[in-house]
């Protein structure tokens, strides 16, 4: 069962739950330091872009598994590992976004 933490209508889960205890003080500090706020915002954007690329790789792996049943178990295991990375990067991105109060949608930089 996954642990979840709710911070003002935001569910934090996965590896990011370990970072959640820092959110309130970082959010307060970021309000007063533009450099920190900018860093968190850019980190959120980078994490989101990496998560999006991982999700594309997962989609391609699923296509390979359909077309080549002999490698299905290996591809399924790779998919599970990539999904873990995707989910945790997405959570981290949302956590950093929350710290800087940024609700803009991140564009994918392919």
52 is a domain residue: yes
The count of structural domains within the chain is 1
pLDDT at 22: 81
pLDDT given at position 10: 62
Sign of the dihedral through C-alpha 86, 89, 93, 99 = positive
Q: Is residue 8 part of a domain?
A: no
pLDDT score, position 107: 46
CA–CA separation, 78 vs 23, rounded Å?
A: 32
16 found inside a domain: no
- The pLDDT assigned to 103 comes to 45
Tell me which residue range forms the domain holding 46: 24-99
Q: What is the DSSP letter of 19?
A: T
H helices present in the chain, as ranges: 23-32, 34-67, 72-99
Is residue 64 situated within a structural domain?
A: yes
pLDDT per residue of the chain (110 residues) written in tens, 0 to 9: 345 555 565 666 666 777 778 888 888 888 888 888 888 888 888 888 888 888 888 888 888 878 887 877 888 888 888 888 888 888 888 887 887 764 444 444 44
Q: Which two tokens stand for residue 39?
A: 């860093």
């Amino acid at each position: 069962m996954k642990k979840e933490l709710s911070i003002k209508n935001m569910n934090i889960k996965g590896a990011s739950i370990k970072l959640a205890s820092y959110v309130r003080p970082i959010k307060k500090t970021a309000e007063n330091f533009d450099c920190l706020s900018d860093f968190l915002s850019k980190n959120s954007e980078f994490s989101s872009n990496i998560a999006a690329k991982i999700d594309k790789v997962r989609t391609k792996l699923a296509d390979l598994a359909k077309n080549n049943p002999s490698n299905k178990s290996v591809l399924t295991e790779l998919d599970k590992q990539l999904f873990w990375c995707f989910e945790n990067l997405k959570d981290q991105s949302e956590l950093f976004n929350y710290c800087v109060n940024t609700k803009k949608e991140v564009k994918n930089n392919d």
